[in-house]
Amino acid sequence: MQEKLAELKARLLEASDLQAAAAVLSWDQATYMPPGGAASRGRQLALLSRLAHERATDPALGKLLDELRPYEERLPYDSDEASLIRVARREYERATRVPADFVAEFSAHQSASFEVWSRARPANDFAAVQPYLEQTVEYSRRLADFFPGYEHIADPLIDMYDYGMRVSTLRPLFAALRDLLVPLVEAIGRQPAIDDSVLYRHYPEASQLSFGLEVAQRYGYDLARGRQDKSAHPFTTKFAAGDVRITTRVNEHDLSEALFSTLHEAGHALYEQGVRPELEGTPLGGGTSAGVHESQSRLWENLVGRSRAFWTYFYPRLQAVFPEQLGGVSLDDFYRAINKVQPSLIRTNADEVTYNLHIIIRFELELALLEGRLAVKDLPEAWAALYRQYLGIEPPDHRDGVLQDVHWFGGMVGGVFQGYTLGNVMAAAFFEAATRAHPEILEEMAAEGRFDTLLRWLQEHIYQHGSKFTAAELLERVLGGPLTVEPYARYLSRKYGDIYDLRS
C-alpha cells in the first residue's frame, strides 16, 4: 500500500505543479507582462490547464484511489493520509463527472460571453449580453445535472466552491441576515451621515504601499515566503508553501483602496502560508473553501483592520507617515470615516453593513434564474426591485446595476457569490471564539500592535489543516456546532451601535 500511496502522491504532485506553473504565468500576466505577451500567454495557460486536467482525470488515478480505499478505511479520519485519499477521491469524482467536451464547449462560451460583456458594460448594453447570459444559465443547469441526486439545482454548483453547503441551509441563514441588516441600514440612515472626506486627500503611492505592507508583516505575513506587487485587481496566489504572493492597487486620492485591499489579501495569504508545508503538492495543500478563505481575508481586513483596538496602536503611526493629511484628524474621526455606512450601487465599494445585502440580492436572483422562476430578460427589473427593497436605492443604469460583476458573464450562474457572505459570517464567529479563548488579543493589538496570540489561534484551529476538513467539519470542530448568524449580529450591533449611537 505504501507504494500505491507514493504513486498517488506523485500523480497529485504533478497535477499540482502544473497548476502552480499556470499560477506563476497568471501572476506575471496580471503584474509585469508587457501587452505584446497577451496572445501567447493565453495559449500557454490553456496548455498547462489542459495538462493539469488530464492528470486530474486520468483513469489510472481513479483506479489507484479505488485500490487505496481499504487502506484509507483503516486509518483515522483526520490523519493526513486518510484525508489525502478522501479529498483526492472527491476531487477526482468531481473532475471526471463532467465530460471533457462539455468543459471545452462551456469554456468557449464563457470566453465569448466575457468578451461581449467587456464591451457591453461600458456601453450600458444589457441587450447585447442577454442571449449569452441565457445560454450561461442553461450551461450552468446542465453542469449541475452531471451531479444527479441534488436537493436543489444550485447545490452541485455551490459544492465546487463551498463543498457541502446547501441551498437549504444557506436560505435560512441569509434570510436571518437580511432581517438583521435591512433594519440596521435603515436605522443608520436616520442618523447624521459621517464625513469621510479625509480619506480622499492626496496620499502618495510609495508611502501607502510601505505602510500597508508593514502592517501585513505585523500581522505575520512572511516576506521570505511571499511578496507584494501591483495589479489592476488585487489577488492572492500560491505557487508553493514557501511562495504565497499578494497584489494591490493604489489610488492616490483614496487611502482606503490600497490599505484595506492589502489587509484583505494578507488575510488570504496568512491562511495559505499557515497550511502545514507537508501538505504541499496534495489536494490538502490550500485553504478549504471559498467561504472559509473569505472569512480570513475579512477577519484581517475588517474585524481587525477596521477595529478601534487596531487603530489605537496604528493611527499615530499612520499620522506620522501622512502628517499633513492626518495631523489634525482625531482617532475617533478617522475610525468613523473608515467605518462609514452608506447604501451604494457597487458591491466592491460597499461597507461592512451593506455588503452582504449586495450578495444576498445576487444569491436570490441566481437561484430564481436556475429554478426557472426568473427569465434573463426580466433580470434588470428584478435586480432594481431588490435594491429598492433591501437598500432603498435603485441603479440608474445597467452599467452600475446588473452588469457590474464579471461572475455571471465570464463564469457561471450559481455557486460563487454565497462564499463572500459565508466569509463575513464565519469571520465574526471565528473572531468571537478566538477572543473568548484569549481576551488578551484586543489588548495586545491596541497596546503593542501585536497579533501573535490571534494568529497562533487561527493557525492552530484553521490554517494548519489546509483542506483536510470541509467548511462544515471545521466549523463543528472550532465552534462546536453549525454556522449561525448570531456572532456576526452581535459584532455588527455592538460596533455600529456605537459608531452611529443607536443604543438610545
Q: Is 51 in the site for a copy of itself (CB under 8 A)?
A: yes
Looking at beta carbons only, is 216 or 441 nearer to a copy of itself? 216
Nearest distance from residue 55's CB to a copy of itself, in Å?
11
Contacting a copy of itself within 185-244 (CB under 8 A): 222-227, 229, 239-243
Could you say which of 4, 5, 9, 17 contacts a copy of itself (CB under 8 A)? 17
Pairing of strands 236-240, 228-230: unpaired
Q: Is 47 in the site for a copy of itself (CB under 8 A)?
A: yes
Could you say which of 8, 12, 18, 475 contacts a copy of itself (CB under 8 A)? 18
Q: Residue 187: exposed, middle, or buried by beta-carbon count in 10 A (0-12, 13-18, 19+)? A: middle
Q: In 124-254, which ranges are continuous DSSP H helix?
A: 126-145, 155-161, 167-189, 205-219
Tell me the one-letter amino acid at 460: E
If you search the block for the grid coordinates 483526520, which residue do you land on? 78
According to DSSP, residue 397 is labeled S
471 contacts 165 by C-beta, under 8 angstroms: yes
- The residue ranges of DSSP E strands in 316-384, in sequence order, are none
65 contacts 8 by C-beta, under 8 angstroms: yes
Q: What are phi and psi of 456, to 5 degrees?
A: -65, -40
Note the maximum CA span of the chain.
69
Name the CA radius of gyration of the chain, rounded: 23
The CB density around residue 119, as the number of other CB atoms within 10 Å, is: 11
Candidate ranges 17-25, 260-268, 375-383, 394-402; the one touching a copy of itself (CB under 8 A)? 17-25
Looking at beta carbons only, is 57 or 339 nearer to a copy of itself? 57
Looking at beta carbons only, is 43 or 74 nearer to a copy of itself? 43
Cα dihedral across residues 396, 398, 402, 403: positive or negative: negative
Q: Is 32 in the site for a copy of itself (CB under 8 A)?
A: yes
Pairing of strands 243-248, 236-240: antiparallel
Nearest distance from residue 251's CB to a copy of itself, in Å?
24
Q: Going residue by residue from 240 to 279, which x/- string records binding to a copy of itself, judged by CB under 8 A?
A: xxxx-x----------------------------------
Looking at beta carbons only, is 9 or 336 nearer to a copy of itself? 9
Q: Is 286 in the site for a copy of itself (CB under 8 A)?
A: no
Q: Going residue by residue from 409 to 428, which x/- string records binding to a copy of itself, judged by CB under 8 A?
A: --------------------
Q: Is 20 in the site for a copy of itself (CB under 8 A)?
A: yes
Task: Mark whether 265 is an active-site residue.
Answer: yes
Size of the site for a copy of itself (CB under 8 A): 39
Q: Is 280 in the site for a copy of itself (CB under 8 A)?
A: yes
Distance separating the N- and C-terminal Cα atoms of the chain: 67
**What number of residues does the chain have?**
504
Which residue in 425, 442, 435 sits closest to 458, CA to CA? Answer: 435
Q: Is 437 in the site for a copy of itself (CB under 8 A)?
A: no
Q: Is 379 in the site for a copy of itself (CB under 8 A)?
A: no
- Who contacts 224 (Cβ-Cβ below 8 Å, separation ≥6)? 242
Could you say which of 1, 6, 40, 278 contacts a copy of itself (CB under 8 A)? 40
What is the spatial order of strands in the sheet that 228-230 belongs to?
228-230, 243-248, 236-240
Looking at beta carbons only, is 32 or 77 nearer to a copy of itself? 32
Could you say which of 12, 25, 173, 499 contacts a copy of itself (CB under 8 A)? 25
CA separation for the pair 431, 443 (Å, rounded): 14
Could you say which of 8, 11, 12, 48 contacts a copy of itself (CB under 8 A)? 48
Nearest distance from residue 353's CB to a copy of itself, in Å?
37
Q: Is 181 in the site for a copy of itself (CB under 8 A)?
A: no
312 contacts 117 by C-beta, under 8 angstroms: no
Q: Is 30 in the site for a copy of itself (CB under 8 A)?
A: no
Nearest distance from residue 22's CB to a copy of itself, in Å?
8
**DSSP letters of 439-461?**
THHHHHHHHH---HHHHHHHHHH
Task: Please pick, among 257, 265, 301, 364, the residue that the annotation labels catalytic.
Answer: 265
Nearest distance from residue 118's CB to a copy of itself, in Å?
20
Q: Which residues are catalytic?
A: 265
Binding site for a copy of itself (CB under 8 A): 13-14, 17-18, 20-21, 24-25, 28, 32-41, 43-44, 47-48, 51, 222-227, 229, 239-243, 245, 280-281
